A and B are shown apart, each in its own frame.
Chain A
């Protein structure tokens, strides 16, 4: 009933035979054959009903499936969008944090520079204090004063600890920056006193002649010292008892240091 297309024309043949040829074949056979028996006819109808039901199930299931898949894809997409937005928010937060940390770093850098300047100033102060307190050796322009017992050997002609104390006080009064007696640097903890026959400074026994060195203003130090009570007192001692008293300006004098050892004392309030 359909015209046969030329062989090899696949698409044309497909179109021509689109309906199963079986229909035509069966129809042709039914035309000349006897009709089927009622029971066979019923079986065929039942099978037909089942086939239609199967077709309906197939279509319905695939439709439901497609809808579910679509909604699932939509859900996934929405979840992804929500996630992207939340992650973007997080990124913005982190960026803000980076900015604030940058600012903090800049502030801290400025602060640390300021601390560095403070530290340098403190270092300078500390060096000055080391000179004044006598914990490090120093050298500079100053005087060398030699005091000796009188050559007569009399008791009154002996130099006493009080004399040396007075001498040291006179030097401080004249503006001395550092004083050493018999090579012992005078610090805040130094004592000049007699122990037995000898005069001790920093608990070291000295023997005459006593050499006292001091650093001070090269222009005025010697004159200022001799004008003090202490200077006058020693001039009197020399004239009265013949005690040796010489003041020299050797240019530069070098004084030893005496390290502080403050191990046990702590400031009130720091005590644990």
Chain B
């Protein structure tokens, strides 16, 4: 219930306030999205496993996004921003894929 409410509020805020992302934060947005997706799929798998916990989700979501952004920031400062971004995307992508696979197993028992 509260999740649905948060979802609706967030979408509406994103659509109607149209917060313009500052140019300096532009490179972090895609990475943050991927990190958030990773946290979401992890949470969905945990839900299906019956071990979902809101606190854990909040912490994993926030830390995922922050750490991903931090890595990209560091990479930018060191001049290897694109390589580190690729690394982050690869790791998170693998996690998302295997989480989705687990979810699929749960849903279809296959």
Contacts and interface: CB of A to CB of B under 8 A. Distances in A.
Given A19-B42, A55-B7, 8 more contacts: A18-B102, A27-B50, A50-B6, A53-B13, A57-B14, A58-B14, A60-B10, A60-B14
> Which 5 A-B pairs give the minimum distances between C-beta atoms?
A56-B10, A60-B14, A52-B6, A27-B51, A53-B10
Interface stretch (A40-48, A129-137, A164-172, A249-257): A40-48
A23 B9 contact: no
B51 A15 contact: no
B33 A18 contact: no
Interface of A: 11, 14-20, 22-24, 26-27, 30, 44-65
Interface class of chain B by DSSP: helix
Contacts of B65: 58
Given A50-B6, A62-B29, A24 B94 contact: no
Contacts of A62: 29-30, 32-33
B10 to A, nearest CB: 3
Interface of B: 2-3, 5-11, 13-15, 18-19, 21, 29-30, 32-33, 36, 39-40, 42, 45-46, 49-62, 65, 91, 94-99, 102
A49 B5 CA distance: 7
A59 B14 contact: yes
24 contacts: A15-B95, A15-B97, A18-B94, A18-B96, A22-B60, A26-B53, A45-B54, A46-B2, A47-B55, A48-B2, A48-B54, A48-B57, A49-B5, A51-B61, A53-B7, A53-B13, A54-B10, A56-B6, A57-B14, A58-B33, A59-B33, A60-B14, A61-B21, A65-B21
